[in-house]
Amino acid sequence: MDLNHGFIIWTLIVTCEGVKTVHPECSIVLHLQKKEAECRLKIGLTQSLLNFNATDTGCLAEWDGVNCWPAVSVGERFSVSCPPPLMNSHELITRTCTTEGWSRLSVPYYSACFQDNSTEQEDTGHRREYFAMVKLIYTVGYGVSIGSLCIAVLIFCIFRKLLCTRTYIHLNLFSTFILRALAVFVKDAVLFADKTINHCTVSTVLCKAVVTFFQYCVLSNFYWLLIEGLYLQTLLVFTFAHRRTFFWWYTLIGWGTPSVAVTIWMFLKHKYDNHGCWDDLDSGYWWIIKIPILLSVFVNFLVFVNISRMIVVKTKTPVSNGGDRRLYRRLAKSTLLLIPLFGVHYIVFALFPEHVGLEARLFFELVLGSFQGFIVALLYCFLNSEVQNEIRKEIEKYKSRTDNNTFQMATQDFTA
């Protein structure tokens, strides 16, 4: 009987996969668990009544894995319908109470609840293939991003001349991208590596800590993207600004705001919604994380528009000299290249529900987002003219030292 129940639940899960954005099968599993708990309570009450009236004969209350069958007398028939998550058919499933117990189902669940699911199963297969491809691509993307960002951090640490307020902000941004990529790998390893674990009901301290860490990394990444935009605007507005003072304010915003938001979210989840691994996007507490993200995205978008306006004005100003115009043109190129880095593309899906445009959302947020760290390292480090000049100087010094050593060795040999 347990194998039959397992097959039924597995069929329900597979058929309805893809209904929701995160763990789509969890709605069915949780619904069945809720109904099972209610049924167990009824079974307990029925057994208590039977203890007082031992002369009653009939069928006891029973949970068959999908529906709850009440206690009835011999000869009575009882009908149930498909579970609400699978209300694809109005056909009733009937069982009769006999002297030997409950009879078999008049219609199997897979026949009554799924009239023609061949198209659904085909769509499910395509969607699984798509999700598998997305996971493969974003795994490669995050791996490339981590490698390139680590090299960029190493370059800035080796060439100390490059360190300034601007590069310190870059290093913080690099750190958030590295942390975000690591958080994705850790989350996948803890929540989804073991296929035998029911992630709909698992609720461990480890998985909650991993999800909390992931949310913090995502928030800090968005806010340091915002800091990059704010700093660029500061350079254009305040020519003689105290940049070190601004940097401490930026640090407070970049790391402090995510800390406050995640702490509030963690406290409320633990106190009022302590279910599962806290990765349910349908929960109302998700807005505690989503609102700061949306706020950073929209502010960054306004900053981007303002920066574009200021650059156009400054490049057209006749009083500016040639050096300033070259600087502003370079900033304009950087700004145009940094459109996806400022999170402007997230505006497309910002106000839509999580289930709308799921495949396109996954492509933007996972596939493109996974390579975002590599693009940041490319623009801010590898293609940076100052970095290239320092590397070129170091290579020339190394060549000159090598040539001198070769010449000295040759001279010593000649003298000998």
Tens of pLDDT along 45-61? Answer: 766 665 545 445 678 88
Q: How far apart are CA 206 and CA 265, in angstroms?
A: 17
Q: How far apart are CA 98 and CA 77, in angstroms?
A: 9
Query: Which tokens is 48 given?
Result: 């208590």
pLDDT of res. 102: 84
Query: Which CATH superfamily groups domain 120-396?
Result: Rhodopsin 7-helix transmembrane proteins (1.20.1070.10)
Query: Which tokens is 201 given?
Result: 């009901």
Residue owning tokens 């950073």: 296
Tens of pLDDT along 150-185? Answer: 999 999 999 888 888 888 998 999 999 999 999 999
Comparing 93 with 253, the larger pLDDT belongs to: 253
Q: How far apart are CA 398 and CA 403, in angstroms?
A: 9
Helix H or strand E encompassing 98 = strand 93-98
For residues 314-336, give the mean pLDDT: 61
pLDDT of res. 147: 95
pLDDT of res. 62: 85
Angle at 355 between CA 350 and CA 359, to 5 degrees: 90
Reduced 3-state DSSP string for 155-200: HHHHCHHHCCHHHHHHHHHHHHHHHHHHHHHHHHHHHCCCCCCCCC
At residue 331 the predicted structure's pLDDT band, cuts being 50, 70 and 90, is low
Comparing 21 with 99, the larger pLDDT belongs to: 99
Please, where in the chain does CATH 4.10.1240.10 lie?
2-46+54-115
With 0.85 as the threshold, say if the pTM is over it: no
Q: How far apart are CA 164 and CA 282, in angstroms?
A: 43
- CATH of the domain spanning 2-46+54-115, picked from 3.40.190.10, 1.10.10.2160, 3.30.1490.100, 4.10.1240.10: 4.10.1240.10
Query: What amino acid occupies position 132?
Result: A
How remote is the C-alpha of 168 from its chain's centroid?
27
Please, where in the chain does CATH 1.20.1070.10 lie?
120-396
Residue owning tokens 């981590």: 146
pLDDT of res. 64: 84
Q: In sequence order, what are the residues at sequence separation of 6 or more whose Cβ sits closer than 8 angstroms to the Cβ of residue 266?
A: 212
For residues 270-282, give the mean pLDDT: 81
pLDDT of res. 3: 37
